[in-house]
Amino acid sequence: MDEPFAEFREVSVTDPLGQGDVLEAVAPEATMWQRHLLVVTADCDFAHAKHQGRVTCVPLLTAEEYLSEMQIPKLREQLARQQVRELRQILSKSAAPTITERRLREWPNEQEPADIVDMLELQSTEGMRAKAALEAIRMMYMPADSFKDSMRLLVEAQLIGANPPKRENAVKRVKEKLREPYSQPPGDALFLTAIGPGHGSGYFAYLRHIEQVWEPAISLGPSRQNFSYRRISRMRDRFAHALVQKFAMVFMSIGLPDQYEDLRDLYADYLGDDLT
């Protein structure tokens, strides 16, 4: 019978700490950035003690944590941009002063939309459209108690805004955008179905956030006493290598400004001018 699929494998307490190991924080109050970590330090660095006892890791966030932190803000900005365009179109036909896009996003979170419409002296249909757009922006930026609440606010905000879509289309837009990181993973993250025994609810390895753990603070077995982390599993080679490769790619190519390159070349040109 085929075994259930999992990206990780279990390890023995006798297996040395290595690249791809999954660590779990002992402290229950650990933040989402420190709760579960993936070791990216190379095995050869462990073997030759090149890491000086510092274990480099990236966080493993639950899918909801990752989407709330990285994807919901992007989607909120996209949806708010539509309402800002509606407001700009309305204001372009009025005697209202020029208002920046940033201000149009911030304003409805500071004052009631109806009061803003009155201040802008917008009347009739245009006033109603502006009020709807402002109320939509306000709802998009409301604090949410959970990931599902964030999704709901983005759907409802579309429906109360200017030129609202049908509900099914509003729901579809939110769901499709939040599903993209699964099927089209960004360059700085990778989805994992499970990271260890009892941890199979879906996670994203986020590769732009780096944590370092002191190696003596890591227990290789179930023991928690006098340790900050315990190892719970190891990613299978294919997934460990894929994650480390993506991690390297995130930091491999860093563009530098033209001014820097011009000055660098100038310094090179001057080198040796005082030699005779």
Tokens, residue 18 = 């290595």
Tokens, residue 13 = 């307490």
Model-level pTM?
0.85
The tens place of each residue's pLDDT in the chain, 276 residues long, gives 456 788 999 999 999 999 999 999 999 999 999 999 999 999 999 999 899 999 999 999 999 999 999 999 999 999 999 999 999 999 988 887 888 889 999 999 999 999 999 998 888 899 999 999 999 999 999 999 999 999 999 999 999 999 999 999 999 999 999 999 998 888 899 999 999 999 999 999 999 999 999 999 999 988 878 899 999 999 999 999 999 999 998 887 666 677 877 777 777 777 666 664
pLDDT of residue 124: 87
User: Rounded CA gap, 257 and 26, in Å?
Assistant: 44
User: What sign has the CA pseudo-torsion 137, 84, 166, 73?
Assistant: negative
Q: Which parts of 44-197 are beta strand (E)?
A: 54-62, 189-192
pLDDT of residue 224: 79
What amino acid is encoded at 248 in this protein?
A
Cα-to-chain-centroid distance, residue 200:
20
Tokens, residue 137 = 């922006």
Tokens, residue 214 = 């002191």
Strands 189-192 and 54-62: unpaired
pLDDT of residue 1: 43
Residues 250/207, Cβ–Cβ less than 8 Å: yes
* Half-sphere exposure of residue 209: CA atoms within 13 angstroms, side-chain side: 17
Residues 153/168, Cβ–Cβ less than 8 Å: no
pLDDT of residue 272: 60
Residue 267 main-chain phi, psi, to 5 deg: -60, -40
